[in-house]
Structure formats: structure tokens, C-alpha cells
Structure 1
């Protein structure tokens, strides 16, 4: 009988809501940065399970939530049946009616076709419309990923660079990308935000199950357990404190405006 490999990665929307509430909770002040006005038409790009979409709507916006994962969209619709949620790819979407703003929290670092995403965002905005986003920035989860890549290589599973699942740009890199597509950056910040993970001793394991499944696509299931154990051992001195795990998050926040003339 062939040995079992780890299952293909995919979002567990219920686990996401239970163990990763910090994602949308940290995004609440990003909504303040957007400062939505009543009646504005806003796209929540990469809306996940819809909690920040609902917050935008509560402030009077006419909001559309969009995500590329069917399970996330289904849970968002169940939680907020009065709101509009659509399935779509951040690198290849189009809407017939323009938006006053595009908002995105903790989603665009999953979009490795970043130039295509920027083009879609610019096309979705009316002239003078604004883009407000937070994503993983340069150096995000560097301790975790460095240790994980090393452990995978030692176990015989080196990860080719092209299969790295995230895009973590610097301020300069992302600002230049937006400018190339007619979006003028007016504010940008790159900052450390060590983030406590839910689950106590199981926090790192849960984070890996939620967010790092792509690293384990080719790994035999029984080896995955050992790799995760080794990872916990190596990262504990740096990322575990008082019975809790902390992810070494580094976030990029940016506000850009669509130029009225290119």
C-alpha cells in the first residue's frame, strides 16, 4: 500500500474563525484608516469569512466581499446573509461598476501575481478612488519560514523558490508596483507586529495547519509530524513565551489613490 502524503492545502473556514481571529481583529484599525463614508461603494478584496466586510457595512458602505476560496465565501454568506459575497481571483477580476475604494486585509501576500492584482485593483477604482491595504511585508514570518525550509530540506523535501506561497514586498517594491499601474501611494509603513497565536502549546502547529499547508504538499504524512516537532524545538527559544507561541509578523500598510490622469 502506498504511504499517505499530506492532504492538498485548502482553507478550513471553521478553524480559521476559531483559531485565527487575530487576523481580522488586527484589521479593525485598518478600517479606521480607510474611513469609509456612508453610501460609498467598497470592495473588500480577500474578505475571508467576512468579519471586516460586515464592519464596513456597519459604517454605511455599500460593500462587496470577494475571496478566492469557496469555503470562506460560504461561511461569510452564512454569517452575514444580508451582505454580498462573490467568488473571485484577486489577480483576474473585473466589475462592471467602479468602486470608491478597494480595501484588503491580510490577503494580498497570498497573490504572487502581484502586478496582475495591482492592474485589477486600479481598473476597479473610479478616478480619485483609494486603495487601503495591509499585507505581509518584507521579513514577515522570517524565523518560521527559515526554520521550516531548513527542516524540509533536511528531510529530503527542498522547496523550489517558485513554489514559495507568499509575496512579502518592501515599501519601495510595492510602491513602485502600484505607481506602474496608476495608483499613487500617499502613505506607507512597514512594522513589526509579533502576534500571539491561539491554542497555547499547540499554537504553532495550528498556525502551520492553517497557513503553511503548501509547504507540506509533497511530504509523507508520518514525516510531517516529525518536521513539525523539530520546528517547535528549534523555534521555542525565540517564539514561545509563557506557554504561548508568537508569530514573527511584519506588516506593510499602504494607502494609494488612483490618479485622475496617468
Structure 2
């Protein structure tokens, strides 16, 4: 997951993100295929992170703008890909003078509880009949991890709530339609994801992505919680020296203000 759109001001270790959690943008390459960018299109990469998928989209000849709420991510993207425009901004409160042919988003939208504000920004950014192509966590995403954290934290007197937005197919399609989109394609699928780092894979994942999940636990007790979570999940989710996270993803293609007679 990518917490780039929370606007929370959380500082990112971009080196750890790129080197130890590269699966985020590597799996996103298939979402770029779903986008089918073409030369001359103007495309917004919403929640661009360190810019690797922005670069892939630009490789098709599109004019791409990357946007992310993380200052660290944007700084790294600008350094790595200086030829592209990257904007440090919150997805819920952004406007552009020139519309986009498409808005693309990978592993960012589930960090935004106020999904209505985010989708309103997407709709405002698109030209009529512009397309929205996104992947985010779907219902049940990382449920085993979340439930293990909640149970171990409860044993120590802390109440942990799931901070992420993981919608069902029906829920998200309905929300898109409420914002003027016509849903052309939507699917929910299991994607068990191997974590880098061997024995440290799950703890590294929780340390990078789980700060909001663990926010109710005092910092000095978080390592004990993480160790207990590892113990609880080890038999099922740690095999042959590798941790696997129980990812479930929701993919969607929608048109904004679509003319149903168009292709």
C-alpha cells in the first residue's frame, strides 16, 4: 500500500519504500496496461509515489503529471525523473486549469477516508468522457494482518481500528456513479503478495505502512505488538523464509460524464 494521499504529514523513508517494498509499483504495471496510455494524451498519476509508474506512462508518449501528498515522495520523484512535472498536493483538494484525458491511480485511494472528496477531484480533473483507471485495496484486504494487530493490541488494553478504505465492488461502483462516472469495468480479486526482507518482511511492512493502524499503541510498545503479530500469523503466512500478505485488490475503469454511444 501507499499512504501517499493521506495528507497526514507522515515522513517517508523513500529508500526503504523503493528497495524493500517495490511490489507496490511492480504490481501497478498491470494497471498501466489497463490504462492503455497513448501518445499525446494528458494523464494525471494520482498518488504517484516516487514516480516509477509515472515514468512508465510517459514511455507511451503521454504528457504525464504526477501528484502526491508526501513531500518526501515528490522530492524523490523529481530527482529521479526531472523531465516530468510532479506536484505536492492533497488529492482531496486540487484543481487544474487544463483538463486531463485520463486519471490513473495505483495503491493510493484506500488511504483516503473521504472518498467522495477524492472522486470529486478526479471528476473535476477529467475532460468529458475522460477515463479513470485505478487499483486500490478491496474489501478484506490484509484482513489477517489487521485482525492480528487488533487482537494482540486488545490483549494489552488498546483498541485498534482499521484506518483504510477497502470497498466492495458494489460500494465503489455506486460511489463512482454518484459522482457522474459510468463504470465500464470493475473486479475484486485475491492477490497474495510476498513481502521482501525474509524473516523481517512482516515487521518491515508494519513499520512502513502500519503507523496509522498502530497509532493507538504507544511507540514504546509497538515492537512488542509486532512480535506478537508475527507469532500469531507465522504458521499460515510465513513459508520457506518469506512472509505473504493477504492482499485483495479492486480494479476499476470508469468514464466521466460518459457518452454511452462512444467507444
The verdict on a shared fold, with TM-score over 0.5 as the criterion, is: yes
Please show how residues 88-167 of structure 1 align to structure 2 within 5 Å: 88-159=89-160, 161=161, 164-167=162-165
Q: Is the 8 A contact 1:10 1:213 kept in 2?
A: no
Q: Is the 8 A contact 2:181 2:258 kept in 1?
A: no
Q: Is the 8 A contact 1:9 1:214 kept in 2?
A: no
The TM-score normalised by the length of structure 2 is 0.93
Aligned to 1:257, the other structure's residue is in SS state strand
In 2, the alpha carbon distance for the partners of 1:177 and 1:28 equals 25
In 1, the alpha carbon distance for the partners of 2:21 and 2:170 equals 29
Q: Is the 8 A contact 1:9 1:217 kept in 2?
A: no
Aligned length: 252
Aligned to 1:11, the other structure's residue is in SS state coil
Match of 1:4 in 2: none
Contiguous gaps of at least 5 residues in structure 2: 1-8
In 2, the alpha carbon distance for the partners of 1:260 and 1:88 equals 27
Match of 2:29 in 1: 28
1:40 aligns with 2:38: no
Q: Is the 8 A contact 2:159 2:216 kept in 1?
A: no
In 1, the alpha carbon distance for the partners of 2:230 and 2:172 equals 32
**Alpha-carbon distance, 1:113 to partner:** 0.5
1:79 aligns with 2:80: yes
Show CA shifts across 1:155-180 (max 9, x none): 12212x4xx32100001000000000
Match of 1:216 in 2: 214
In 1, the alpha carbon distance for the partners of 2:146 and 2:74 equals 28
**Alpha-carbon distance, 1:151 to partner:** 1.2
**Alpha-carbon distance, 1:260 to partner:** 4.3
Superposition RMSD in Å? 1.4
The one of 184, 187, 193 aligned to 1:186: 184
Please show how residues 198-237 of structure 1 align to structure 2 within 5 Å: 198-237=196-235
Write out the 4+ residue segments of structure 1 that deviate beyond 6 Å after TM superposition.
Answer: none
In 2, the alpha carbon distance for the partners of 1:174 and 1:226 equals 36
**Alpha-carbon distance, 1:222 to partner:** 3.3
**Alpha-carbon distance, 1:11 to partner:** 2.1
Contiguous gaps of at least 5 residues in structure 1: 1-7
Match of 1:5 in 2: none
**Alpha-carbon distance, 1:218 to partner:** 4.1
In 1, the alpha carbon distance for the partners of 2:257 and 2:53 equals 26
The TM-score normalised by the length of structure 1 is 0.93
In 2, the alpha carbon distance for the partners of 1:96 and 1:171 equals 32
Match of 1:259 in 2: 257
